Structure 1
Amino acid sequence: MKIADFFRENNINVTDKKLLVAASSGPDSMALLDMLKNLQDNAHFKLMAAHFNHQLRADSEEESKLLKKYCSENHVPLFIAKWPKEDQPKVGIEAAARHARYAFLTQMAKENNADYLLTAHHGDDLLENILLKFIRSGNPEEMNSLQMIGKMHGIKLLRPLLGYSKAELLQYNQEYQIDFVIDSTNQADETMRNRLRHHVVPLLKKENPALIRNALFFSQKMDELIDYVDEKNSAMWQLESFLNVAYRIKSEALSQLTEKERIFFWQRMIWQKYHRRVNENLGNFVVMEYQNYFYLYKKQNILEVRKQEINLNQPFVFRNRKMVLSTERKTDLKLIGDFWFKPDTEFSMGELVPGSKLLLQNGHHVKAKKKFAENAIPLALRPFCLAIYAENEPVFVEKIYQNQNWIKNGKHYFLYNS
């Protein structure tokens, strides 16, 4: 398979496009850079490279020098950043390094208006990923974590080397005399990936030399099956975020599902929304039906939010949500709700006190719990509804109530997510 075949088979026209390669000086990314450089003769696109120096190995500077030399000789613009030592955590450094690298790559892609970001993941990487997922979870949705075409933080992501084996890339580098640096950390057996790479994968390849091709076929078929399930299970698109702490869906949307299918649906939603794997008991999550809605939320201890004074046009935080109360219409912020009240009022915010009553237009009061029930908000989620107080009386309760008394020369107040 030639790299040109990847673009042709996936109907990707790169003419006049900007391609940014995530490059180290390893054999994989050096081969990818050189393949794309040669492809430029027939397909006219701008090729760029971005390199993130983690400063975690003694040969990190050697990597940067080699990459600078190649890019300079081949007129490829190169963007380099270093990960400051003071930003490197003592624990969880691999995850932190990955996060910092992806943040840099995304930034470079956006700043340089790249149409595509390309990584040098190859077929052996894909096979190792599949084996790791089998060992750790067996979750079908995780099996296609390396896709040929995807997105990362809004940037189109391409992995054109998934059809190549590591051996083929090394052979390419040898044939075209491409220099590269071997990552010394890949030689030790300290990580599970390295142990699979050194001991398990070679045995599997002896059983079937076409293993890499089969891994790609398996991954593509998993993509197709998951897309099919998503299409059939259209209810998932009706799930709405609720109060930034739960998700809900109309009961009728799941009415045609069997009990087993519902369990699968919620397991799928928990994985997609919370990235947690759960068994049929759904673990630390709650699914409840209330007033013709199903609610999904995570079990947690709820601390009381006492009333606090707030000022107009100054952001405040309620249960991890940043909000602002204003008398101005703001099109750039999401409106939570609005109400009318006296001008120059001092407001406070907090959760609604249990047993509260709300003033109606006719001068009577209604129990807040009745309004919560009418608006299908279960007891467990009511503390997450923001209440705005004026003169120690609630004048606004999120999702259920706004002041109903007519006020002469009253002001219109707007509550926004900020």
Structure 2
Amino acid sequence: MKLEQLFLQNFQANDLACQKILVAVSTGLDSMVLLNLLQNLPMMVRPQITVAYVDHQLRKQSAKETIFIKEYCQKNNLSLVCKSWPKKEHPVSGIEECARQMRYAFFAEVMENQGFDALLTAHHADDQAETWLMKLIRGGRLEQLEAIKANRAFANKRLVRLLLPFSKQQLLEYAKQKGLRWFEDETNQDQCYLRNRMRQQVVPLLKKENPAFLKHINEYCEQLNDLLAIKQQLYRQLQNDLQIKEGYCLTSWLKLSQLQQKLFIEELIMQTTKSLTTGQSQAVLSLLSNQSKPQGQVNLTTHYMLVKSYDYFTIKENLVKTKAKFVAKELVLGEWIRLNQFESIGLFEKDKQPKGNDYLNITTTAKRLFVRHRLAGDRLLMKNGHQKIKKIFIDHKLTNEQRQDAWLVSDEQQKIYWVIGLKKSDLSQTPRDAKMQYVIVYTDKRKED
């Protein structure tokens, strides 16, 4: 079957008939073949074509290429959008990646502003093989070996590569047969670039070993796509099963097989942070599986951390707290102390106490009383001794963040009378015959609402 017929089948399979499409053209062999094939599709399915061209100003001949594509589009009644990348904007290093980002940003802008249905690029089977081998050499995750996708989301629409089933040789033969004109990029011969070494040295040897090499690479990529799609389905199912209000249920996660546990954690990290290392995965799995450590965290990136808190875990933004450290404040009779935008506390006479969410009764104000956050070694004052504040926090399953924000009432000897919201000292009970009775009132607007 001729290349034109195979191309037509691929075109129709991608539902592009009669759509408004943007075609990325560089004036090289591949993109000129793609453009010609689109132009020669049957009228009943031929799309509305606009050519997108970028002059990177990286080569002397780029000026000639710009003139050529303008004349070509004018002669063939094709719409054309152009962009130049001034030399002054070129980076000192990483110019190829920077050029790619600039180019696709331009395509996306045109797509969104002019309402195109799809962007078409001229990547072919040899590009696929080169990309696949480069990623295999560099190492990474299995998902990266998908290499070049034939169809993916782009600029709220699609990016489609219709030439992926075809080899460079097939495109060359077609171009010669049709008498097409194109420009060769001399940098493609520069052996300093890994892709060029793959193209000039490695891929030809593999083709010689097996003429079906390119076909096999495409088949492997298709199979891998199917497996990764199933993996995503499994991840979403696990996510639904494990999801709770606070994050993900640790008890349910521990009941999964080790493979399911690993799959879920790695995909959760990837979905959230867009990156993953073996060390991160191992650290998280170790923390979550350690039942003797009910709380803990693993820093994943500068911005994210995984937090384990008793019976659940979640990924949070790793925000550095900038709030000022709260200094202990003395309770003054008849006055309120505002702890934050929601909470307040005050000391009052029993018969003059205002409304509040909770109270601590006392019989004397001879001792100076303070409100503060916890300190190392804090203990709650009891009739028969003391109880560690840490033990109270553990009993109530407070997270580390909740422990840091907890409020305590103490005297100047650092004896704790009240862990607000959790526990009061036995000594806070007021004898009925006390001559003067006082009350510490705590209020929280969130609870009132």
Q: Match of 1:3?
A: 7
Q: Match of 1:335?
A: none
Q: Match of 2:39?
A: 37
C-alpha deviation, 1:381, in angstroms:
10
Distance in 1 of aligned mates of 2:395 and 2:229: 37
Distance in 1 of aligned mates of 2:78 and 2:120: 15
Say whether the 8 Å CA contact 2:25–2:51 is kept in structure 1: yes
C-alpha deviation, 1:40, in angstroms:
4.8
Cα 1:380–1:104, aligned 2, differ >3 Å: closer, same or farther?
A: farther
Equivalences for residues 202-217 of structure 1 within 5 A: 202-217=204-219
Q: Match of 1:154?
A: 156
C-alpha deviation, 1:36, in angstroms:
0.1
Distance in 1 of aligned mates of 2:56 and 2:444: 53
Give the counterpart letter for 1:263 in structure 2. Answer: K
Distance in 2 of aligned mates of 1:376 and 1:57: 65
Q: 2:357 matched to 1:358? A: no
Counterpart among 132, 135, 141 of residue 134 in structure 2: 132
Q: Match of 1:142?
A: 144
Equivalences for residues 64-79 of structure 1 within 5 A: 64-79=66-81
Q: Match of 2:400?
A: 379
Distance in 2 of aligned mates of 1:172 and 1:375: 74
C-alpha deviation, 1:358, in angstroms:
2.7
Q: Match of 1:302?
A: 320
Distance in 2 of aligned mates of 1:99 and 1:174: 32
Equivalences for residues 76-115 of structure 1 within 5 A: 76-115=78-117
SS at match of 1:295: strand
Q: Match of 1:173?
A: 175
**TM-score normalised per structure 2:** 0.66
Which structure ranks higher in relative contact order (CA pairs < 8 Å, sequence separation ≥ 6)? Answer: 1
Q: 2:17 matched to 1:14? A: yes
Cα 1:197–1:306, aligned 2, differ >3 Å: closer, same or farther?
A: farther
Say whether the 8 Å CA contact 1:66–1:180 is kept in structure 2: no
Q: Match of 1:269?
A: 268
Q: Match of 1:416?
A: none
SS at match of 1:163: coil
C-alpha deviation, 1:377, in angstroms:
8.8
Give the counterpart letter for 1:259 in structure 2. Answer: Q
C-alpha deviation, 1:305, in angstroms:
4.8
Say whether the 8 Å CA contact 2:235–2:263 is kept in structure 1: no
SS at match of 2:45: coil
Q: Deviations over 1:361-383 (max 9, x none)?
A: 7254899999x999999536999
Distance in 2 of aligned mates of 1:113 and 1:274: 31
Q: Which runs of 5+ in 2 are unaligned?
A: 284-298, 326-338, 346-354, 360-370, 375-388, 405-442
SS at match of 2:116: coil
Q: Deviations over 1:143-201 (max 9, x none)?
A: 11311111123221110000011111111111111111111111111111111111110
Say whether the 8 Å CA contact 2:342–2:446 is kept in structure 1: no
Cα 1:27–1:367, aligned 2, differ >3 Å: closer, same or farther?
A: farther
SS at match of 1:39: coil
C-alpha deviation, 1:139, in angstroms:
1.9
Q: Match of 2:197?
A: 195
Q: Deviations over 1:78-100 (max 9, x none)?
A: 10011133332223322221111
Give the counterpart letter for 2:145 in structure 1. Answer: M
Cα 1:290–1:180, aligned 2, differ >3 Å: closer, same or farther?
A: same
Distance in 2 of aligned mates of 1:153 and 1:378: 41
C-alpha deviation, 1:68, in angstroms:
1.3
SS at match of 1:182: coil
Return 98-107 or 282-291, whichever deviates more: 282-291
C-alpha deviation, 1:252, in angstroms:
5.7
Say whether the 8 Å CA contact 2:130–2:198 is kept in structure 1: yes
Cα 1:358–1:258, aligned 2, differ >3 Å: closer, same or farther?
A: farther
Distance in 2 of aligned mates of 1:258 and 1:181: 56
C-alpha deviation, 1:14, in angstroms:
1.4
Say whether the 8 Å CA contact 1:250–1:293 is kept in structure 2: yes
Q: Match of 1:58?
A: 60
Of Structure 1 and Structure 2, the greater helix share is in 2
Counterpart among 235, 239, 242 of residue 233 in structure 1: 235
Distance in 2 of aligned mates of 1:8 and 1:402: 64
C-alpha deviation, 1:406, in angstroms:
7.4
Give the counterpart letter for 1:29 in structure 2. Answer: S
Q: Match of 2:386?
A: none
C-alpha deviation, 1:231, in angstroms:
1.1
Q: 2:422 matched to 1:403? A: no
Say whether the 8 Å CA contact 2:39–2:46 is kept in structure 1: no
C-alpha deviation, 1:62, in angstroms:
1.9
C-alpha deviation, 1:303, in angstroms:
5.9
SS at match of 1:80: strand
C-alpha deviation, 1:278, in angstroms:
1.1
Say whether the 8 Å CA contact 1:358–1:368 is kept in structure 2: no
